[in-house]
Structure 1
Amino acid sequence: MSSVRLFLAMAAMRHWPLFQLDIKNAFLHGDLDEEIYMEQPPGFVAQGECGLVCKLQKSLYGLKQSPRAWFGRFSKVLEQFGMIRCEGDHSVFFRCSSTNRHIYLVVYVDDIVITGNDCEGIKALKHHLFQNFQTKDLGPLRYFLGIEVAQSKSGVAISQRKYALDILEETGLTDCKPVATPMDPNVKLLPNQGEPCSDPGRYRRLVGKLNYLTMTRPDISFPVSIVSQFLNSPCDSHWNAVIRIVKYIKGSPGKGLVFTDKGHTNIIGYSDADWAGDENDRRSTSGYCIFIGGNLISWKSKKQTVVARSSTEAEYRAMAHATCELLWLKHLLQELNFCDIGSMELVCDNQSALHLSSNPVFHERTKHIEVDCHFLREKILSGIIKTSFVNSRDQLADIFTKSLRGPRITYICDKMDAYDVYAPP
């Protein structure tokens, strides 16, 4: 979903309008590249046609070839119009003219969003799609993949308010008392902690819904990643932790992200790690968040795959993960010809990790670190990445690595432009 948020941020930074189209019976438009045959149903024999089968000329719903056939057909139609499929994200298409006119399109199954500064080109693109597909023009973008979008002259705001309210209604917590934090900082969840959950399926479904809610709610990414580790055998303590997240959502169901034009297109990433934060296997948690033009477009909270022997190693691994995301973002923006990309800044609050990323110091203490982590040094030497130190208080990635107190969560959310646009002024 990072590319969708980037798409919306690009439109907000350039004050471009966003339009939405919907294609009916999308899969039925795809031509099959291989011969697929459909056998007669068991017990059914047409008179005089025993043993005959049907050769499919078009893809049908339910076939495993349908999504690939549909996307192939859709790509050919866009290429006929002059659009280019982005290699960094195959769901994004673009067309840039010599007169600095741009058209960008993102598609997910049968939902299409278009933006750009070429108004006549966008009208021609819509007409081209109308001629090839059964398409409905939904006008300005308002609702996409469960995300509510509000456009104005000042920017673009996204949230999942309706989705959050549906979760509250499903769990029966519509009238519950909200809590200030999504997870108790004093509680550490462990496997087999308490009695087994009476309905594991309900636990898994609710965690899955919360995981989808993190598309616009970076403040719950860390607690959702924690409760997702117990899907196999949840217990009562894990269920209580999930319910606490829902009660936290009750306090601001309309909280989302706001994208605005801040007058620059600088790319900056914040990287952090919580060394040996998991009391069960002593693995560390990596977290990062990426901003472009001051707009948050990508973040992640994930437990590391190995046990770090020091806080420096844990922070260094987190910086390597953030660097991968920065490189993907640079490649995507360069391909889209959106803006000039200079050195990208990577911010960390660990001085030892910063020294390690710039110079091969403490060799005896770090020779056990995998080679793939050291590619960060290469990117720094080439000038693609530049690192800097930030005080722990201003470390925005802190929210992705540990459970925080209420005031700290509010402070970081304000820095990320994560607001409840439905809250009274």
Structure 2
Amino acid sequence: MAALSVKYQVKDLGHPSQFLGMRIEQSDKGILVSQAAYVGEALHRSAMQPARMQPTPMIPNTRLDEFQDSPPDNEDAEMRRMPYRHVVGSLLYTLKVAWIAAKYLLRYLSGTQTIRLRLAPSSSGIDVVTDADLANNKADRKSVSDCLDYLFAFPVAWSSTKHGVVAQYSTTAELIAANDGLLLAKWIKLVVDEILHQVLPPTKLTLQVDNVPTIHRIKHEGSSGAQKAVDICFRALKDAWKHDDMAIEYIPTEVIPADKLTKSLTSSQLRNKRGSISTRVTIRVVACVGGVEQGN
């Protein structure tokens, strides 16, 4: 608030307690964010209170992209009676397997209502963690990009996106994912620098990937060796690195938090990733006091 008041005329209304369905609690240790009311409302609309809790958000070894054909008439009629659109927001599938997956997700959410995200800024700059799952879609073999963007050591934006082109190699898929993360991070940097330019120096941007060949290609001369659409991503990354608009670092695959956005995980893997997603795991020594914790 003090930083904003340097440039803008603002009125301090005190600490918020509710915002867009989120409950906000503030203390000396940081800010706690939870969505118990929002999740409870979703469960109520779907007639799933009480719900049998599940340890993961996705059914293990189930892929919705394998079900591309139209459902049988009897299954289609059954699904029209289900409140599926209320669960996913729009009617993307009318398949029974997708309805089961949606209910499974709600059961997982019912067990996370008291989990809170603790936000406590502990460093400066923007960190982008990206990952790619090569040939993820069995129908067309297009890969999936995921990225987590951190501002001052806690996550502010994340995405999981299917590629528009087919990547033949893991390095190609990682280049596309890295470019997706960089584009979002640049937008965050523009907003932060515009608001805080009189208070803080320009925000530093660091890209973190788990693919050594990708880092090598960005840092050294040469072409991407890929089709035009991918080569554009490659050139954008190389240009950002050469002009010192970003730094780039390696992050081990086993600790990369963005991995949870590309595939279903076991309950133990999910617990580990859920903890690291809000503590900005890197191979550098970072003092970060944010995290995920159980509420009352």
TM-score (norm 1): 0.60
1:205 to 86, 90, 93: 86
Note closer, same or farther for the CA distance 1:380–1:260 as it changes in structure 2 (3 Å cut).
same
Structure 2 equivalent of residue 291 of structure 1: 150
Note closer, same or farther for the CA distance 1:389–1:140 as it changes in structure 2 (3 Å cut).
closer
Contact residue 192 and residue 234 of structure 1 kept, 8 A:
no
Q: CA deviation at 1:299?
A: 0.7
Structure 1 equivalent of residue 283 of structure 2: none
Letter in 2 for 1:239: W
Measured in 2, the distance between the counterparts of 1:379 and 1:237 equals 43
Measured in 2, the distance between the counterparts of 1:421 and 1:285 equals 31
Letter in 1 for 2:44: E
Note closer, same or farther for the CA distance 1:245–1:193 as it changes in structure 2 (3 Å cut).
farther
2:127 to 250, 255, 268: 268
Structure 1 equivalent of residue 288 of structure 2: none
Q: CA deviation at 1:370?
A: 4.0
Structure 1 equivalent of residue 248 of structure 2: 387
Matched, 1:238 2:98: yes
Q: CA deviation at 1:344?
A: 1.5
Note closer, same or farther for the CA distance 1:355–1:414 as it changes in structure 2 (3 Å cut).
same
Structure 2 equivalent of residue 75 of structure 1: none
Matched, 1:178 2:53: yes
Instruction: Give 1:215-254 correspondences, 5 Å limit.
Output: 231-254=91-114
Q: CA deviation at 1:327?
A: 1.0
Higher-Rg member (1/2): 1
Q: What SS class does the counterpart of residue 173 from structure 2 fall into?
A: helix
Q: CA deviation at 1:294?
A: 1.4
Q: Which has the higher contact order (CA 8 A, sep 6+)?
A: 2
Letter in 2 for 1:160: Q
CA deviation profile, 1:254-273 (whole Å, cap 9, x unmatched)? 334221132x2132110001
Could you tell me the percent identity over the aligned residues?
Answer: 23
Q: CA deviation at 1:351?
A: 1.4
Contact residue 265 and residue 292 of structure 1 kept, 8 A:
yes
Measured in 2, the distance between the counterparts of 1:242 and 1:155 equals 33
Matched, 1:419 2:287: no
Measured in 1, the distance between the counterparts of 2:171 and 2:87 equals 36
Structure 2 equivalent of residue 192 of structure 1: 69
CA deviation profile, 1:13-35 (whole Å, cap 9, x unmatched)? x8x9xxxxxxxxxxxxxxxxxxx
Measured in 2, the distance between the counterparts of 1:274 and 1:247 equals 26
Instruction: Give 1:367-406 correspondences, 5 Å limit.
Output: 367-373=227-233, 374-406=235-267
Note closer, same or farther for the CA distance 1:371–1:313 as it changes in structure 2 (3 Å cut).
closer
Instruction: Give 1:9-48 correspondences, 5 Å limit.
Output: none
Measured in 2, the distance between the counterparts of 1:234 and 1:340 equals 51
Q: What SS class does the counterpart of residue 140 from structure 1 fall into?
A: coil
Instruction: Give 1:25-424 correspondences, 5 Å limit.
Output: 94-97=4-7, 122=10, 125=11, 139-189=14-64, 190-192=67-69, 195-196=75-76, 198-199=79-80, 202-208=83-89, 231-262=91-122, 264-337=123-196, 339-361=200-222, 363=224, 365-373=225-233, 374-417=235-278, 419-423=292-296
Q: What SS class does the counterpart of residue 346 from structure 1 fall into?
A: strand
Measured in 1, the distance between the counterparts of 2:162 and 2:116 equals 25
Letter in 1 for 2:109: I
Q: What SS class does the counterpart of residue 96 from structure 1 fall into?
A: helix
Q: CA deviation at 1:383?
A: 0.7
Note closer, same or farther for the CA distance 1:201–1:175 as it changes in structure 2 (3 Å cut).
closer
Letter in 2 for 1:180: P
TM-score (norm 2): 0.84
CA deviation profile, 1:163-197 (whole Å, cap 9, x unmatched)? 10111222232222211111123111122375335
Greater fraction of residues in strand: 1
Measured in 1, the distance between the counterparts of 2:248 and 2:210 equals 10
Contact residue 146 and residue 160 of structure 1 kept, 8 A:
yes
In structure 1, list runs of 5 or more residues that go unmatched. 1-10, 17-93, 98-102, 104-120, 127-136, 209-227
Note closer, same or farther for the CA distance 1:146–1:372 as it changes in structure 2 (3 Å cut).
same
